[in-house]
Amino acid sequence: MKLMRVGTKGQEKPAVMADDGSIRDLSQIITDIAGDTLSDTVLEQLRQVDLQSLPELSSDERIGPCVGHVGKFICVGLNYVDHAEESGLPVPEEPVLFMKATSAIVGSNDNVIIPKNTNKVDWEVELGIVIGTEASYVSRENALSHVAGYCVVNDISERGFQIERGGQWVKGKSCDTFGPIGPWLVTRDEIEDPQNLNLWLEVDNHRYQDGNTGTMIFCVDEIVSYISQFMSLQPGDIISTGTPPGVGLGQKPEPIYLKAGQVMKLGIDGLGEQQQLTVSHQN
């Protein structure tokens, strides 16, 4: 299933994309795409619904974040060898973890705000894992059973905040609008192999990133198991799994960063596409 949340900010309705491309309202069945509604039991109930019997929503409505009420937004850094090299950092021996503030989360096509007093805003297309059932000390073999599905994430970063302001990555990752997710949460049964997905990103129609999840250093099942050794993962938590090479920081001979008025387009096989316009901060 391709689950989504549609409507104005803060008033999104749970929805599903039917096979014919229509968007169907799930409000009569569930309250939101969030928390316990992401369990295998509820997802299986939704699969049994005759989608054509549900009200159709306009395709012109805003697509909100594909998951609501996210508790944790966990990111894996430097998870592609080539990206670690372009960042001038060693290939990690264990997953590098950091948090991204949940207040950064926006819809897949919402504007991205360039923060005040910055000039190093960067892009990062990433595969997002959405947790469906609580995971604590889970084995790698059982890890995927705790996954509800996957989504596209643009892990937008302000490199000056990230690198030059005291060494805390979270400062460069958590600005408002720096976490577009969606358009869909695609349930795990539709993704045959999360380690064989092409992912790409363009700025103003120039392709900067063109990779495949098969080149991850740490795979999806390993990431879920690893994180669960340090903290419990709750339904609706999102894990962003790292980005392939081609970020602005790594461009030669000089880094290239985002400015207001540019358009980012990005996508992952089977998970849909995002498009964001960058805009100046309005005070």
At 155, the pLDDT band (50, 70, 90 cuts) reads: very high
Closest CA to 218 of 191, 189, 241, 251: 241
pLDDT classification of 46: cutoffs 50, 70, 90: very high
Spatial distance between the Cα atoms of 238 and 240, rounded to a whole number of angstroms: 6
Reported as a pLDDT band with limits 50, 70 and 90, residue 283 is confident
84 has a pLDDT exceeding 80 = no
For the whole model, what pTM was predicted?
A: 0.96
Model confidence over 179-216: pLDDT tens digits? 999 999 999 999 999 999 999 999 999 999 999 999 99
Domains of the chain by start residue, with CATH:
2-57 (no CATH), 73-280 (3.90.850.10)
- Rounded Cα gap, residues 3 and 274, in angstroms: 15
Residue recorded with tokens 């080149």:
215
Q: Which of 154, 105, 95 is nearest to 126 (CA)?
A: 154
Cα distances (Å, whole numbers) of residue 48 to 122, 185, 200, 220: 42, 18, 33, 28
pLDDT reading at 89 higher than 90: no
* Pairwise CA distance, residues 7 & 15, whole Å: 10
The SS3 of residue 87 is coil
Cα–Cα dist 154/122, whole Å? 10
CA–CA dist 112, 281 (Å, integer) = 9
pLDDT value for 3: 98
